[in-house]
């Protein structure tokens, strides 16, 4: 999709009084502070994007600095004063707050210019991910330096504690076959190796939802001002999500993980999981695009996704097919089929 030229400071509305802008920035300071509390952190990039629309990049940097200071400070004090909190839980909470700042808030600010240029959905998401990856490293290094531990090791220990409790519950369940318990234990042990990929996938979901919210809000503001919807308003619809073709190289290289050993194999395996998750999202976007192309919306759309969920939990074949479709979309462009009267805003994503 054609990218729009770079705009000046942001999508800032001209002629706004200083008092109105100050109130807007203050509101976003409170909103950003709130998003540092779970589970509101999912909307942290969206708050940054929306502040950029309203007030420009400079004001957004100020709002983020104040909001992060207030949010992290209040969250840290809240955790520290909880009765019976352990040093392990305290360290995990502090590292998680730092992770929200380095993997969500700051990357959102850095990719905001891409949104202003109307860059493609896939390019914005991949840029967000590439900028967030050093944030994971910064969080790990900060945890080791200032908190005396490893954030990844703490997450692994927390996961093992949770899975041990689940397995113990199964063992106390009357009639539970030992083979089934052992199978669950093996699955949990295998998932432990992919905890980094799960963390990265969580960041991907946060940015995906935030970009969708950004696109909807921008289209709504444009319609309020002009009573028209431009072609660029559909850029950030989920059905138009398409990954850049260079991701195929990451898939091929990480697919050689079984040939590696040690740390290299673990890293390549986690990269492969993240890449497959991205292609699964693209497969879902293709599915949504096909539903829109044949005019399915409303209750029909809900039924289609419920059916997809049913096939996922029963046969488990749906995610595999969607991932394959997302992988081969670069070669076949499954979304070429469109109705002539198809509109960017005629369906709900």
Q: What is the pLDDT of residue 265?
A: 92
Q: What is the pLDDT of residue 203?
A: 97
What's the confidence (pLDDT) of residue 62? 96
Q: Please give the average pLDDT of every successive group of 10 residues along the chain, which has 349 residues.
A: 44 63 93 94 94 91 96 94 92 96 97 92 96 96 93 94 92 87 91 95 96 88 76 83 94 88 91 96 93 83 85 81 91 66 50
Task: Give the CA angle between residues 344, 218, 212 to the nearest 5°.
Answer: 70
Count of domains forming the chain: 1
Q: Is residue 74 part of a domain?
A: no
What pTM, to 2 d.p., does this model score?
A: 0.89
Rounded distance between C-alpha atoms, residue 165 and residue 294, angstroms: 47
Asked, as a colleague might, if the bond just before 99 is cis with ω within 30 of 0, I would say no
Look at the chain and count its residues: 349
Domain assignment of residue 293, yes or no: yes
327 lies in which domain range? 240-342
DSSP per-residue letters across 289-345: HHHHHTT--THHHHHHHHHHHHHHHHT--HHHHHHHHHHHHHHH-GGG---TT--TT
Residue 84 located in a structural domain: no
- Structure token digits, residue 107: 């990357």
200 occurs within a structural domain: no
| Residue 15: per-residue pLDDT | 55
Q: Is residue 207 part of a domain?
A: no
Q: Within 237-261, where are the H helices?
A: 247-254
Burial class (CB in 10 A: 0-12, 13-18, 19+), 339: exposed
Residue 95 lies in a domain: no
In a domain, 305, yes or no: yes
Confirm whether 231 is domain-assigned.
Answer: no
């Amino acid at each position: 999709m054609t990218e729009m030229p770079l705009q000046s400071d942001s999508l800032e509305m001209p002629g706004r009084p200083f008092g109105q802008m100050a109130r807007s920035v203050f509101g976003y300071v409170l909103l950003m502070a709130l998003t540092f509390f779970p589970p509101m952190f999912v909307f942290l990039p969206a708050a940054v994007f929306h502040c950029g629309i309203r007030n420009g990049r400079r004001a957004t940097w100020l709002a983020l600095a104040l909001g992060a200071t207030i949010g992290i400070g209040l969250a840290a004090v809240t955790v520290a004063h909880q009765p019976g909190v352990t040093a392990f839980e305290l360290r995990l909470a502090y590292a998680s707050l730092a992770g929200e700042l380095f993997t969500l808030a700051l990357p959102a600010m850095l990719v905001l210019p891409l949104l202003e240029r109307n860059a493609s959905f896939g390019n914005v998401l991949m840029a967000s991910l590439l900028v967030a990856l050093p944030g994971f490293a910064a969080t790990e290094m900060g945890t080791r330096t200032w908190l005396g531990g490893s954030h990844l090791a703490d997450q692994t220990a927390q996961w093992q504690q949770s899975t041990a409790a689940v397995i113990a519950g199964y063992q106390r369940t009357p009639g539970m076959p030992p083979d089934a318990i052992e199978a669950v234990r093996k699955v949990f042990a295998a998932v432990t190796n992919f905890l980094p990929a799960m963390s990265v996938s969580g960041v991907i979901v946060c940015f995906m939802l935030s970009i969708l919210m950004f696109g909807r809000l921008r289209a709504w503001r444009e319609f309020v001002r002009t009573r028209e919807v431009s072609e660029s308003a559909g850029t950030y619809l989920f059905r138009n999500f398409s990954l850049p073709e260079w991701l195929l190289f990451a898939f091929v290289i990480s697919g050689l993980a079984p040939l590696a050993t040690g740390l290299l194999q673990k890293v390549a395996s986690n990269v492969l999981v993240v890449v497959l998750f991205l292609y699964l999202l693209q497969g879902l976007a293709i599915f949504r695009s096909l539903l829109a192309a044949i005019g399915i919306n409303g209750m029909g759309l809900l039924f289609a996704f419920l059916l997809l969920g049913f096939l996922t939990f029963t046969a488990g074949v749906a995610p595999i097919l969607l991932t394959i479709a997302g992988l081969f979309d670069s070669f076949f462009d499954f979304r070429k089929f469109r109705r002539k009267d198809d509109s960017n805003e005629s369906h709900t994503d």
